[in-house]
Chains A and B, each alone.
Chain A
């Protein structure tokens, strides 16, 4: 088995990202049932969301800056150049929006959600936007990975000329 630092960092990026989305989903479920008894749990889930998305940002950013260039070159020479031109370009900037929303979520959950309908609406909106944008980012990551894979497979099938 040969697992490199690049592999671990990339998997940590995706793992923290999807865990952050699940934590935001947890915030939604708890907020739909908000009471004084689950207020601390909502704040913990919101904090977990922010921490996971921050970790995904750091791991993903480090990987993108230090390891992505050769994969980008492969994608651009392969049959799916749009995996970089559209999906990576959108993902690397859309992720910042997910990050800003994730840092807003713990602030939004400081209000008394069980007695404040507007505060509940805000938390539900922010957490839902994190889930939606986070899943779009995850999906874009899959397309980018597939862009590398088919560049290698089809390049190899054509004698490695791609």
Chain B
């Protein structure tokens, strides 16, 4: 259990860090999908790393989420931000990233 924040109505440093990391990672995921779809060279490079571009894409997302989560948690950067805004940013990022994928593949 993350100690120390139960009565403060604030996210713990670890949770806040990983929320910020998830916000960045979901946006990164969509941007990488756009760039990969427009650039056969990047698609082929990603394929050369693991045998399939999709596998590389997923690993990149996961590594980014975990590394940024550790960095943001330990640096205390996310903890300084308003917890409510962090949550709103995650919801907004997820909505924008999901719609961005759907609209891209439907119209571009």
Contact = CB atoms under 8 A, between A and B. Distances in A.
Contacts of B94: 97, 101, 129, 133
Given A108-B15, A110-B15, A118-B10, A57 B84 contact: no
A12 interface: no
Main secondary structure, interface of B, reads helix
Contact of B22 (A85, A94, A100, A110): A100
Interface in A78-135: 85-86, 89-90, 92-94, 96-97, 99-101, 103-104, 107-108, 110-112, 115-119, 121-122, 125-126, 129, 133
A61 B19 contact: no
Interface of A: 57, 61, 64-65, 85-86, 89-90, 92-94, 96-97, 99-101, 103-104, 107-108, 110-112, 115-119, 121-122, 125-126, 129, 133, 136
Interface of B: 1-2, 5-12, 14-15, 18-19, 22, 25-26, 29-30, 33, 37, 51-52, 54-55, 57-58, 61-62, 65, 69, 83-84, 86-87, 90-91, 94, 97-98, 101-102, 105-106
Given A104-B65, A107-B14, A119-B12, 14 more contacts: A89-B101, A93-B29, A94-B98, A100-B26, A100-B62, A101-B94, A104-B22, A110-B15, A111-B11, A111-B15, A116-B5, A116-B6, A116-B8, A122-B11
Across the A-B interface, give the 8 residue pairs with the lowest CB-CB distance, nearest first.
A112-B6, A89-B105, A93-B33, A118-B83, A104-B22, A115-B6, A107-B18, A65-B52
